[in-house]
Structures are given as structure tokens and as C-alpha cells.
Amino acid sequence: MSSVKKACYCSICTALCYILPLLFHALSIGTVFSPMHIPILLCGILCGWPYGLFCGVAGPLISSLLSGMPSTLQLVYMIPELAVYGLCAGLLYSRLHTRSAVADLYLALVPAMILGRIAGGAARALFYLSTAQPYSVGLWASAYFVETLPGAVLHLLLIPALVLILTKAGLVPARGANRGVRA
């Protein structure tokens, strides 16, 4: 995919970081489904790690400036989490070649989501250390895994489907067309 096309997709994904949370929060399901994560993971997979990393930093910043969501305080731990999402999803997906695009998607998404949550938790722990407020592994696990489980399931169902739909529609190049990788 050309760098111009990647920049266009990255711009769309970054804009979706503002739009999707507004829609989800209007339905009172924003926190549970983590809508900002969707375009960032998608950007990393479609455009590669530099674009995914950019989207993971710029998306929450732009959304915060335009809507106040996430709050400035939340940016402290959301930016590391989402930057790692975009970085790892793009990096892993570009390196994986199992001969199945679906397997590659899941093998990129799951570690990216886990590593992003670890980065977010570490940033949150550092923040809480600076404020002398209590923070524990239990609070981290609850905030990043239990409370967001519906969102993680949605991401694991929606993102591979979107990638396959965009590929079949010819909007993104077929993965491994010259390497015998099947969708």
C-alpha cells in the first residue's frame, strides 16, 4: 500500500478515535466497549506500526482536545496503552506469516491488547505513585481485564471482520498475495 493511502487510512482512524467514543458514550456503553481502541488496532494492522503508533498517540489527544474525553488525567495512562496497541498490532502483523490471514490477525491482536494493557497499567501505577494513592495488581486486573472484557471480545470479533471485508472489497491489498497466504 502506498504511503499516501496509509496516511489517508491513518487520518480516518485518528478521526474515528474522536467519533466512535462520542457515539458509544451517547449510548452509555463507552467505558465497557473501549471504542477508541478499535481504530488504533485497525490502523496498526492496515498501515503498519509507525502509523498505528501515531494514531495511538494522536487519537486520544485530538479526542481530548475536541470533546474532553478522555480527560487530561486519563491521557497519562491511555496514551501509553493505545500507543503500544498501534505499535504492537502493526509490528506483529507485519512479521507473522502463518499462511492464514485470520490466524495472523489474532496472533497480532491478542498480544498487542495484552501488552497495551500492561503499558497502561504501568503508566497508571507510576501516576498513582506520584500521588500517593493506592494501586495494586488487583485494581489493574479489574480495570484492564474484567471491566473491559466485553470490549476485548468486541475488538477480537470486529477487527478481523473489518480487515477481511476491506480486503475483499479491494480497499486494502490482499495479504501475502505472492506468498500463498490465504484469507
**pLDDT tens per residue across span 61-93:** 999 999 999 999 999 999 999 999 999 999 999
**DSSP sequence for 115-180:** HHHHHHHHHHHHHHHHHT----HHHHHIIIIITTHHHHHHHHHHHHHHHHHHHHTTSSPPTTTTTT
pLDDT at 183: 47
For the chain, how many structural domains are there in total? 1
CATH number at residue 110: 1.10.1760.20
Residue 173 lies in a domain: no
Within 8 A by CB and 6+ apart from 68, the residues are: none
Residue 178 lies in a domain: no
pLDDT above 90 (res 141)? no
Residue numbers of the domain that contains 106: 3-168
Instruction: Kindly report the average pLDDT of the chain as a whole number.
Output: 92
Q: Residue 109 in contact with residue 160, Cβ under 8 Å?
A: yes
Closest by CA position to 17, among listed 1, 41, 46, 48: 41
pLDDT at 145: 84
Q: What is the model's pTM?
A: 0.92
Residue 31 lies in a domain: yes
pLDDT above 60 (res 8)? yes
Closest by CA position to 146, among listed 32, 57, 59: 32
pLDDT at 131: 85
Cα dihedral 148, 183, 92, 11 in deg (nearest 10): -70
Can you say how many angstroms the Cα of residue 34 is from the centroid of all Cα atoms in its chain? 9
**pLDDT tens per residue across span 164-180:** 999 999 999 987 654 44
pLDDT at 176: 63
pLDDT above 90 (res 139)? no
